[in-house]
């Protein structure tokens, strides 16, 4: 009949059975009575514990007949098969966007309502999904239970480990049906498809700027609030994103885990490796619709388009000078503070950006990465190559 007579007294969500209500109420109380005897992780239901234990045993009983991928549950297999069929039976009544899972629709609808029912009891931060809260709480506890057997890197979730392992295997199972570009994660494909559709459903209520994801909106809003919740324990520098802190910490450790298989050059970020590989392939997928100039990344295209629009969203709070990129503002602010965070390991010279340090270090290494395709002469900096090429073109 569809009747749901049982209602939660805290959030008013309704259920058809009293046992479903009891399980739901545990999300509010934080009650997790079922504990894994191998890693100590706790769960609200015995079924979730059983599914979790398969991450230890490796058991995946359900296999896709199209690609052979195996899954822990039949429901996971059914959801996966929609990647092949393209089926998206659940549609948002506000914007018409469709989803393969009802739970994804429910989470999406919170973009419109702004609902964030899950709150951290340590810092008060709120989230739209319970799993986001669980992951966030690990930033307080430092829990990283899943380890990569290739490089030893540790992760807070098995899903993050699976995605990371694709860096080593090169697997990219998700393909765009418009341009054929492949991705290692389904959400990366979804975001990429918005570059074709122009869809930016998340809007800032302070300046009106729109974004493709709610996460990007949250990060943008910190440019208005100045919030930087992540702090480096070595130098005290603060960041608006945990990923930025992780990348920054590599300036202290010197870690560069991503290596180009063509020239051996190493990078601290996988994205930098991807962009670098385009110097070998010559790929420039992003085109300006005003002047036709092409770029290797969508970010570079966005920055370029500000030349046409004149947009300068980032302002220095000391002198009022405005910039088109937040990175340019950060570098500019160092002219006020005198900060030079990057030090050369050869001679001790200090630089105010990692890029300047990299260019400086080529004096010691003799590296000349940029080559003229007309005469073969090599240069240590891309701008030196650009100036040189003008001699050929006049």
Instruction: Encode pLDDT of 36-62 as tens digits.
Output: 998 888 888 888 888 888 888 888 888
Confirm if 14 and 4 have CB atoms less than 8 A apart.
Answer: yes
Question: What value, to the nearest 5°, has the Cα angle with vertex 98 and ends 87 and 114?
Answer: 145
Coil, helix or strand at residue 117: coil
| CA separation for the pair 61, 51 (Å, rounded) | 11
Query: Residue 31 carries which DSSP code?
Result: -
Instruction: Encode pLDDT of 268-326 as tens digits.
Output: 888 888 888 888 888 888 899 999 999 888 888 888 888 898 888 888 999 999 988 88
Output the six-digit token pair for 240.
Answer: 């608006």
Q: Which residues have CB under 8 Å from 246's CB, separation 6+?
A: none
Instruction: Encode pLDDT of 357-369 as tens digits.
Output: 888 888 888 888 8
On the CB side of 51, CA atoms within 13 Å amount to: 14
pLDDT band at 1 (very low <50, low <70, confident <90, very high): low
Instruction: Encode pLDDT of 194-251 as tens digits.
Output: 888 888 888 898 898 888 888 888 888 888 888 888 899 989 899 888 888 988 888 8
Phi (first) and psi of residue 248, to 5 degrees: -60, -40
| CA separation for the pair 56, 36 (Å, rounded) | 10
CA dihedral 64, 69, 75, 76 (to 10 degrees): -150
| CA separation for the pair 172, 164 (Å, rounded) | 11
**Cα of 19 vs its chain's centroid, Å:** 37
| CA separation for the pair 301, 178 (Å, rounded) | 20
Q: Over pLDDT 70: what percentage of the chain? A: 99
């Amino acid at each position: 009949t569809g009747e749901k007579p049982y209602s939660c007294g805290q959030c008013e969500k309704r259920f058809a059975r009293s046992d479903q209500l009891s399980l739901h109420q545990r999300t509010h109380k934080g009650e997790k009575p079922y504990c894994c005897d191998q890693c100590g992780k706790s769960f609200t239901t015995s079924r979730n514990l059983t599914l979790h234990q398969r991450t230890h045993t490796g058991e995946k009983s359900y296999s896709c007949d199209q690609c052979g991928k195996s899954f822990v549950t039949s429901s996971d297999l059914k959801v996966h098969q929609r990647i092949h069929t393209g089926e998206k039976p659940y549609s948002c009544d506000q914007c018409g966007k469709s989803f393969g899972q009802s739970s994804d629709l429910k989470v999406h609808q919170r973009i419109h309502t702004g609902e964030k029912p899950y709150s951290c009891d340590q810092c008060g931060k709120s989230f739209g999904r319970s799993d986001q809260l669980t992951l966030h709480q690990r930033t307080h506890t430092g829990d990283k239970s899943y380890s990569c057997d290739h490089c030893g890197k540790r992760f807070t979730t098995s899903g993050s480990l699976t995605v990371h392992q694709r860096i080593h295997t090169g697997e990219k199972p998700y393909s765009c049906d418009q341009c054929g570009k492949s991705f290692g994660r389904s959400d990366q494909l979804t975001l990429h498809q918005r570059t074709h559709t122009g869809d930016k459903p998340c809007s800032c209520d302070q300046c009106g700027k729109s974004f493709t994801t709610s996460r990007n909106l949250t990060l943008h809003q910190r440019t208005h609030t100045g919030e930087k919740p992540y702090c480096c324990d070595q130098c005290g520098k603060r960041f608006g994103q945990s990923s930025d802190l992780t990348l920054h910490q590599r300036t202290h450790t010197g870690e560069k885990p991503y290596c180009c298989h063509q020239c051996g050059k190493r990078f601290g970020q996988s994205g930098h490796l991807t962009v670098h590989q385009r110097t070998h392939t010559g790929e420039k997928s992003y085109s300006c619709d005003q002047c036709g100039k092409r770029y290797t990344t969508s970010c570079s295209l966005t920055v370029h388009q500000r030349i046409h629009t004149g947009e300068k969203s980032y302002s220095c709070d000391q002198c009022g000078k405005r910039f088109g990129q937040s990175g340019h503002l950060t570098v500019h602010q160092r002219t006020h503070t005198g900060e030079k965070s990057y030090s050369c390991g050869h001679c001790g010279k200090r630089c105010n950006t990692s890029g300047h340090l990299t260019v400086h270090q080529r004096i010691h290494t003799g590296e000349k990465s940029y080559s003229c395709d007309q005469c073969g002469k090599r240069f240590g900096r891309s701008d030196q190559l650009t100036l040189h090429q003008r001699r050929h073109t006049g």
